[in-house]
Amino acid sequence: MITILFGILNLVLFIAFVVGMIKPRLLLQRFDRTPSRIKVFALYLVFSIASGFLKTALTSDQEIVDNAVYQANNNLDTKAYEDARNSLYGVEKDNKYYHIVQDMLVKIDSTEKADSIAAYEMKIAHEKAAYEMQKASIKARLIDETDSFFEGIDFSDYRGDLELIAIELALIKNLSGLIQQARKFESDTLQQLANTLKKKVSHTQVKELPALRKDYAQTLKKELLARNIEVSFGGKGTTTINFTAEHFIDDQTITTFHSELNEILTNLRFKRVTYRRQKKDSDYYYLTLEVPSDKEVVEEL
């Protein structure tokens, strides 16, 4: 009741303040011959402070606690736990109803803890569901890719063009990445599927990479004619590629040219690259590339 009465009183004071700020004379003419807005503001401030002290003096311990608990419950409904606690901290400990405040603080703590546990459990459930979905997706992809090998893949379309060769390499690399993804799951089924696919990929690499290297060298030879660079290849399984050009006169020139091709040469698993100014030169520059064998499936994304 006290809260309601002082709420009405404060509303009346505010209305009077607004009227007085607009027309000071209308509010103060009976009490002051020289009314002004400053005086209106000063009076409003005095009455507001007096109202606050009077409310505190007249408000019972019960009402203080009731108001604090009411505000705390409102904050609790919106999960504003810290605000709920702050709503109760204004109640003095010597209030005879302070035990109600203590009970409310316990309620806030237990509710916050329960919500935190529920949120954590929901997070775990979502992560588990995402894990199972990803595992099912990986399993389906492993089965599809393995089946495609059993049915037979025709790589003959990926020939005679540098971009097509790069596409076939990307396809093989993606399969290696798929196998690596399967390794993350503790599933015997997935590991068996990954091992089966790995054998198929290894067999394909042994067959395809030498053919790809040879086709790459032949295709690149045509591409580099305009730059007066001759290309040849050799070695068991076409593991060596040779470049001959008059402008290969120093290490810097060779290094600059090699940087253009290093990635594709490495992906094709060439083991040796040589550079000469002329074919019959006994003095030449060569690079040894650290690459895995054709049968090795590199399990990395």
Domain for residue 281, yes or no? yes
Domain for residue 102, yes or no? yes
What's the pTM? 0.62
Residues 26 and 9 both lie in one domain: yes
Give the H/E segment covering residue 287.
strand 285-288
200-250 pLDDT, tens digit each: 999 999 999 999 999 999 999 999 999 999 999 999 999 999 999 998 888
Q: Would you place residue 301 in the very low, low, confident or very high pLDDT band (cuts 50, 70, 90)?
A: very low
153-198 pLDDT, tens digit each: 778 888 889 999 999 999 889 999 999 999 999 899 999 999 999 9
> Is residue 260 helix, strand or coil?
helix
Q: And the tokens for 28?
A: 């103060």
Domain for residue 167, yes or no? yes
Identify the CA nearest to 265 among candidates 207, 203, 201, 212. 212
Domain for residue 126, yes or no? no
Residues 44 and 109 both lie in one domain: yes
Domain end among 207, 225, 260: 207
Domain end among 207, 227, 260: 207
Residues 12 and 111 both lie in one domain: yes
The whole domain housing 215 covers 209-288
Residues 80 and 12 both lie in one domain: yes
Residues 91 and 139 both lie in one domain: no
Q: How many domains does the chain have?
A: 3
269-294 pLDDT, tens digit each: 999 999 999 888 778 889 999 999 99
Put the strands of the sheet holding 272-276 in their side by side order.
230-234, 240-244, 272-276, 285-288
Supply the DSSP string of 144-210, one letter for each residue: HHHHHHHH----TTS-SSHHHHHHHHHHHHHHHHHHHHHTTS--HHHHHHHHHHHHHHHHHHHHHHH
Residue 104 has pLDDT above 90, yes or no: no
Residues 147 and 73 both lie in one domain: no
Provide φ and ψ at 236, rounded to 5°: -65, 125
Residues 6+ apart with CB under 8 A from 155: 168, 204, 208
Domain for residue 127, yes or no? no
Provide φ and ψ at 180, rounded to 5°: -65, -40
Domain end among 187, 207, 227: 207
Residues 216 and 202 both lie in one domain: no
122-143 pLDDT, tens digit each: 999 999 999 999 999 999 999 9
Residues 77 and 163 both lie in one domain: no
Residues 13 and 44 both lie in one domain: yes
Domain for residue 294, yes or no? no
